[in-house]
Amino acid sequence: MPQFGTAWITGASTGIGQELSKKLLSQGTRVAMTARHADKIHAFRDSLPASQQTLVLPLPADVANHDALSRAYAKLKDFWGAPDLLVANAGTHINMQASQIDWVPCRDLLSINLLGAVDCITFVLPDMLARKSGYIAGVGSLSAYRGLPWAAAYGASKAGLNNFLQSLRFDVETHGITVSAINPGFVQTPLTDRNPFPMPMKISAEKAAEYIWTGLLKKKKEIHFPPAFSWSFKLLRILPYPMYHALIRKITGSASRRE
Ligand SMILES: NC(=O)c1ccc[n+]([C@@H]2O[C@H](COP(=O)([O-])OP(=O)(O)OC[C@H]3O[C@@H](n4cnc5c(N)ncnc54)[C@H](OP(=O)(O)O)[C@@H]3O)[C@@H](O)[C@H]2O)c1
């Protein structure tokens, strides 16, 4: 008997979402996979052993498009009923230096990373409340803790999602629903392949999926990793703000002034 009967993973076409899907499928969970690129989801399904292919439901959609997401969720319910687990993982990151901080890229990033995740959550929530069970997890980032250079919109989207999940947990835990915030450090994926700076303690997407799986089994309020990196972020979070700013400026100084 799998831990989760049915899971809905967004951002499942590559990176962390795809590795987590693999992990869940290997446990016998049925996985509905959402991302914009249907071809990548189908190619992933075709690469699986036959016994796992039937456990995959491709649900292509743009999480920033409410109507498309609504159709995808309706299809999921038609096929398998409401999911036991949602992992709102779809996200993007654009490094934005001063001259690139503009309305359209900021709006688009927040629409995917924050509002897209909130939209998915509001689809599953009524069904989980009615059933008095379910698990909602959202993928934030260690950059949610405090502002970092080049990441004004990204950090805000992840901080917003963390706060949303923390509040939600108060509201739904008495209704049998578990909520986790997942805050990774650097993970090797197509998203970080674009980063032009060194990424300390970067781990593989497979390792990230292992951390997430273990955290989900323990129903952790926050799943943060890799531990050596995430705990140093937690220490940085409690520094007085002027000290934090000076230290981050020193560590990242040459990079964040390069324009
Ligand atoms: N990699 C890291 O170091 C790191 C660190 C902290 C947090 N994270 C977070 O982890 C999550 C997964 O990222 P990743 O590193 O695995 O990157 P990735 O490989 O680029 O995966 C991002 C996923 O999100 C999907 N996606 C992007 N925009 C979407 C949209 N509008 N609608 C639906 N799906 C969309 C992408 O698929 P399509 O392009 O097919 O839509 C892809 O499946 C993100 O939320 C990211 O912010 C990553």
pLDDT at 225: 98
Query: Residue 206 pLDDT more than 50?
Result: yes
Q: Which atom of ligand 1 is nearest to the CA of 18?
A: 43
- Give the C-alpha separation, 95 to 97, whole Å: 7
Q: Which domains does the chain have, with CATH numbers?
A: 6-256 (3.40.50.720)
* Ligand 1, atom 25: closest residue by C-alpha: 11
Q: Quick check: CB of 88 below 6 Å from ligand 1?
A: no
pLDDT tier for residue 255 given thresholds of 50, 70 and 90 = low
pLDDT at 90: 98
Please indicate whether residue 25 or residue 3 has the higher confidence score (pLDDT): 25
- The answer to whether the Cα torsion of 168, 172, 173, 179 is positive or negative is negative
* Ligand 1, atom 7: closest residue by C-alpha: 141
Query: Residue 2 pLDDT more than 90?
Result: no
Q: Residue 134, by phi and psi: left (phi above 0), alpha (psi -120 to 50) or beta?
A: left
Query: Could you report how far apart the first and last alpha carbons of the chain are, in Å?
Result: 55
Tell me: the pLDDT tens digits for 105-148? 999 999 999 999 999 999 999 999 999 999 999 999 999 999 99
Residues 6+ apart with CB under 8 A from 212: 16, 20, 23, 87, 137, 182, 223
Query: Residue 256 pLDDT more than 70?
Result: no
Catalytic residues: 154
Pocket test for ligand 1, best of 9, 10, 14 (most atoms within 8 A of CB): 14
Eight-class DSSP state of 221: S
Tell me: the pLDDT tens digits for 60-78? 999 999 999 999 999 999 9
pLDDT tier for residue 1 given thresholds of 50, 70 and 90 = confident
Pocket test for ligand 1, best of 114, 188, 189, 206 (most atoms within 8 A of CB): 189
What is the SS3 assignment for 169-193?
HHHHHHHCEEEEEEEECCEECHHHH
pLDDT tier for residue 259 given thresholds of 50, 70 and 90 = very low
Nearest to 248 by CA among 237, 86, 92: 237
CA 214 from chain centre, in angstroms, equals 16
Q: Quick check: CB of 187 below 6 Å from ligand 1?
A: yes
